[in-house]
Structure 1
Amino acid sequence: MSGRTAIVLFTRDLRVHDHPALAAACAAFDRVVPLYVLDPALAGRSPNRTRFLHQSLADLRAALRDRGGDLVLRHGDPVAETIRLAGEVGAEGVGLSADVSRYARRRERRLRAECERHRLHLRLFPGLTIVEPGAVRPTGGGDHYRVFGPYHRAWLGVARRAELAAPARITLPDRVPVGRLPALPPGESPHAAPGGESVARRRLDEWLPTLDRYDDLHDDLAGDGTSRLSPYLRFGCLSPLAVANRAGDPGGPFVRQLCWRDFFYQATAAFPDINHRAYRRGATEAWRDDPDALAAWTEGRTGVPIVDAGMRQLRAEGWMHNRARLITASYLTKQLGLDWRAGLAVFDRWLLDGDVANNAGNWQWVAGTGSDTKPYRRFNPYRQAERYDPDGEYVRRWTG
């Protein structure tokens, strides 16, 4: 079969709707090979996320097959496997969504070098954020915004790219071995949400009618009025741009939360050590070492009801209400005086939505080493419970 062929390497963009790399490849090439490489370097960090990933891959394969294509699965180093597949199918180019973590950027550099060596064209695309990291910079100088307020104002003024429809048809080259989906692992949280774009789109449709009450509901712990879309955004089962467009009102409280996500992406792009080193210049760190206190916090047995409720929700669902995240993280760092990196590691194991930018960015904000302009802020767990769980329903749900 004659014609031009391209590979689209999927990473954290497991969808067909509003996928710029996939849309561009389908428009410019006769045949497109969607590829996902199961990378052993990323395996084993979180059984919950591994299960969610595998569910999302199965859903993505189904969506691609509905359009005449398929998802090619390989195991190993993503750079080596991409180059090998390009040789097998005679590909001319590779498309990839840009990412910001240190690992993702190292993968991109390696892939670019190998593509140049094999005379393949590599193109990076937007899609993981609404506004691309680096698209707005402080007018007074600096490579990125270090404080959210000015970033939010600048972010609101950026013209968004056009949202893209899913490709109507995807044509694979003949006789490409697509590989088998991996067996679905058990995960650790018995009530974890399932992965996949189709689940995500249903969740968005079901939640949107409550959006006009979001400002009143999103801090109500028992009411559970948040969108719970964060795992689907983390794995790219939903386009953040599409979610923002569906939500409307760019300055509204829900879209503001999506802006926070973009803020931490641009911070991580400029400061890739955000999950290891203090982000705030001049931050002092004098943490205690208390393994017993850390274990009690991790297992939800501190004796502080609202803290224990949050940590037990985390273990049961692989997710935690955002207000509870603030309370539990503040308790670990400000009350117990334990290192935010230890808390980050616990969240990283359990959270379906755990990633470098948002997990580390939020932990550092709470710990006083990050972007908070009031680094000594603390959340008193008893006052927080009185305000956001006044009837004790959330605490009883998870500790009763």
Structure 2
Amino acid sequence: MNTAVVLYTSDLRLHDHPPLRAALSSGDQVVPLFVRDRVIEDSAFAAPNRLAFLADCLADLDAALRDRGGRLLLRSGDVVAEVCALVQEADADEVHMAAGVSGYAHAREERLREALEAQGRRLYVHDTVVTAVAPGAVLPSGSGADHFAVFTPYLRRWTELPLRPAEPAPRAVRVPEDLGSEPLPRRSAVTGTSPGLARGGETEARRLLTNWLRSGITRYEDTHDDLAGDATSKLSPHLHFGTLSPTEAVHRARAAGGPGAEAFVRQLCWRDFHHQVLAARPETAAEDYRARQDRWRTGPDAEEEIQAWKDGRTGYPVVDAAMRQLRHEGWMHNRGRLLAASFLAKTLYVDWRTGARHFMDLLVDGDVANNQLNWQWVAGTGTDTRPNRVLNPVRQGLRYDPEGRYVHRWVPELAGLPAPRVHEPWRLPGLERARFDYPDPVVDLADGLGRFREGRPGAVS
């Protein structure tokens, strides 16, 4: 009896899952496996919000497999050692898994391939599982480059490429009965999570996508930057954990049609864009994609300002609202991410890696490709073609939260202060200003711009 193993990583679903489909086609029995990688779980990447969301995802995946006659096996330790041990226990001929994009994922695949070949078994790595278009599938014409460094030409080529069809979930999954498994982790056992953390799992992902396509996507082009309206899909955690297929999301959005769908698909393309950059340049997880010879600020004054930024007490209401949303939900509106990142990297002039680490500590959708490369885009060390742009938090607040509702929601100290004054509370007269328990700005915006111009060679406003 032929047996194949499916190694789950960032693809915790049954719908549109090429590795599972291939394993079911080649084997009489399939072993769905997730390994709690000790390298990851002992590192900073194992943030409480993501561990809790992961627990939801694994429980939902196990339940879906059981509905089809199977189950999910859980092991802990070194991924290569655990897979090789299970392959021997199950007498499996092959292992199927999704292709990763990080340097760590590539090294893990190579280690696993070598170890399995030494046992006389094969590893099959499937692309277009974590992304809609595989990294390297589209390349700049005639340049010899191994990836696109600018988004717009990548978008044109990406849009022209036909996507594979999305596949339904299998009706049955037959799993050997005599293989042991550790108990699945429980969300309730994870401490230190954000109070408003969303629920994980493929069931929830598919519910959100269906509701989004039914009632949210038509307004997306006009409202996706509206901070108070919160009119985004909230699907980013599910794309990160793979409880939702990006390929299926693109197909279903295109079927819905309209400007909103086009704008949403563009965001999915941005995700693929960052993944193809990281796949080609894995060092950009920690190093500048384009070094600007920055002289980032350090020392006690900088540390004090960093802490105020983390606490949502910078004195700039829209930045503080975004940072407080992050702490409460483990998620932040995309426009808020841009403003918070620009304020740290360009106004406080602090190394983007400091902000990226803090985001990774809290974001449930914390993703090496999207988080690190979006931070670099904002900091001007990444793929932005205008690396020295500085977002003014007051103007941005007036534009994207004109009634002050986003600030009122997350900065209750200012709830009684109407717009537009809520975005500049320091301009209140002294006695009126004393009514609000809210700090003065940690830095004047003009002074912050001066820091940036002085610290980055050739910087212009």
TM-score bin, normalised by smaller chain: over 0.9
| Equivalent residue number for residue 136 of structure 1 | 138
Question: 1:357 is aligned with what amino acid?
Answer: A
Taking CA–CA contacts closer than 8 Å with sequence separation of 6 or more, which of the two structures ends up with the larger relative contact order? 1
- For residues 304-350 of structure 1, the C-alpha deviation after alignment (integer angstroms, 9 at most, x for no partner) is 10000000000000000000000000000110000000000000010
Letter in 2 for 1:252: E
Q: Secondary structure at the match of 2:304?
A: helix
Question: Which runs of structure 1 show a deviation greater than 4 angstroms over 4 or more consecutive aligned residues?
Answer: none
- Please report how far the alpha carbon of residue 106 of structure 1 lies from its aligned counterpart in structure 2 after TM superposition: 1.1
Matches within 5 A, 1:64-79: 64-79=65-80
Equivalent of 1:322 in 334, 337, 346? 334
Q: Which segment drifts farther, 127-136 or 162-171?
A: 162-171
Match of 1:192?
197
Counterpart residue type for residue 410 of structure 2: W
Greater alpha carbon shift after TM alignment, 154-163 vs 91-100: 154-163
Q: Aligned letter for 1:156?
A: T
Q: Distance in 1 between matches of 2:192 and 2:167?
A: 33
Given that 1:49 and 1:187 are in contact with CA atoms closer than 8 Å, whether structure 2 keeps it comes out as no
Aligned counterparts of 1:63 and 1:109: Cα–Cα separation in 2: 30
Deviation at 1:187, TM superposition (A): 4.1
Partner of 2:243: 237
Structural mapping, 1:279-298, within 5 Å? 279-280=289-290, 282-289=291-298, 290-298=302-310
Q: Secondary structure at the match of 1:273?
A: helix
Between Structure 1 and Structure 2, whose CA radius of gyration is higher?
A: 2
The equivalent of 1:24 in structure 2 is 22
CA contact (8 A) 2:57 2:200 kept: yes
1:11 aligns with 2:9: yes
Offset, 1:291 = 1.1
- 2:219 aligns to what? 213
Distance 2:191 2:209 in 1: 26
Structure 1 distance, partners of 2:33, 2:250, is 27
1:239-271 CA-to-partner distances (Å, cap 9, x unmatched) read: 001111111149811100000000000000000
* Native 8 Å contact 2:15 2:245 kept in 1: yes
CA contact (8 A) 2:5 2:30 kept: yes
Mapped pair 1:202 → 2:207: yes
Q: Deviations over 1:126-175 (max 9, x none)?
A: 21000000000100321100000110001011111121111111111231
Aligned with residue 179 of structure 2, among 161, 170, 176:
176
Question: Partner residue of 1:399?
Answer: 411
Counterpart amino acid of residue 228 in structure 1? K
Instruction: Give CA deviations for 1:42-74 in whole Å, capped at 9, x if unaligned.
Output: 115310000000110000000111111110000
2:261 maps to 1:259: no
User: What one-letter code is carried by the residue in structure 2 that aligns with 1:88?
Assistant: E
Tell me whether 1:275 sits opposite 2:285 in the alignment. yes
Which whole-Å CA distance do the structure 1 matches of 2:177 and 2:226 have between them? 54
CA deviation vs aligned residue, 1:202-247 (integer Å, no higher than 9, x gap)? 1111121221110111000000000000000000000001111111
Gaps of 5+ in 1: none
Distance 1:338 1:138 in 2: 33
The TM-score, its normalising length taken from structure 1, stands at 0.97
Q: Tell me the residue number matched to 1:335.
A: 347
Q: Could you tell me how far apart the structure 2 residues matched to 1:183 and 1:326 are?
A: 33
Cα distance in 1 between the residues matched to 2:140 and 2:387: 21
Q: C-alpha distance in 1, partners of 2:66/2:404?
A: 48
* Contact map agreement 2:52 2:186 (CA 8 A) in 1: no
C-alpha distance in structure 2 between counterparts of 1:136 and 1:259, whole Å: 12
1:388 paired with 2:400, answer: yes
Question: 2-side partners of 1:182 and 1:276: how far apart?
Answer: 30
For residue 2 of structure 2, what is the amino acid of its counterpart? R
1:284 CA drift (Å): 2.3
Question: Percentage identity across aligned positions?
Answer: 52
Give the drift of 1:29.
0.9
CA contact under 8 A between 1:51 and 1:187: conserved in structure 2?
no
How many Å apart are 1:178 and its aligned residue? 2.8
Deviation of residue 84 (structure 1)? 0.1
Other-structure match for 1:376: 388
Structure 2: give runs of 5+ residues left out of the alignment: 413-461
Q: What is the alpha-carbon root mean square deviation over aligned residues?
A: 1.1
Q: CA deviation at 1:188?
A: 2.0
Query: Contact 1:70–1:178 at 8 Å: present in 2 too?
Result: no
For residues 397 and 78 of structure 1, what CA distance do their matches in structure 2 show? 43
What do residues 174-219 of structure 1 show as CA deviations (whole Å, max 9, x unaligned)? 3111321123313420001011000111111112122111011100
Once residues 240 and 268 of structure 1 are traced to their aligned partners in structure 2, the CA distance between those partners, rounded to angstroms, is 18
